[in-house]
Amino acid sequence: MMSKFPAFKTPGDQEAYIGIFEHKLQGYWALMTRVKNKFFGDDSLTKEWKWEELQPKTIEIFRDITSDLMYQTEIDFKERYPDYKTADDELFIPYRSFKENVSEALTEALNKQRECPPCDALACTDHLADE
């Protein structure tokens, strides 16, 4: 996965990149708006909320829902239309579960560190059974 802005060889390449980005942004925005409107829009039981009226945590939840729905839709689509499957399809890790797994691992590591203060592992009786 590309993680930084590429060094373009020509201005045309940069324009093409930005055009692709804009197209994807419009698509993602439309999907996020659909999710928001399902919960806080004209087809919900509440008033229609504007983006600027929502709390950042609510927007984050909409982003997670949208990303998960996009992922699940892609899986379902590729199951129905196998010609679209690629070798990379099994590698995707949804953002939320990855974030939760990392947070859980860090919390567990910190808790273990708190349980046993720094010591000389060779002399500490708590570590005698460790390899």
Give CA–CA dist 97/71, Å, rounded.
Answer: 12
17 or 48: which leads in pLDDT: 17
- By C-alpha distance, which of 31, 72, 30, 39 is closest to 58? 39
Distance CA 67, CA 70 (A): 5
| Placement of tokens 């994807």 in the chain | 24
Q: How far apart are CA 12 and CA 23, in angstroms?
A: 16
Please say whether the beta carbons of 6 and 18 come within 8 A: no
pTM of the model: 0.58
Higher pLDDT, 22 or 40: 22
Q: What is the residue-averaged pLDDT of the chain?
A: 78
Q: Which residue has the higher pLDDT, 68 or 113?
A: 68
- Comparing 2-11, 26-35, 52-61, 69-78, the range with the smallest average pLDDT is 2-11
Identity of the residue numbered 67 = S
Sorted by sequence, the CB contacts under 8 Å of residue 124 that are 6+ apart come out as 116
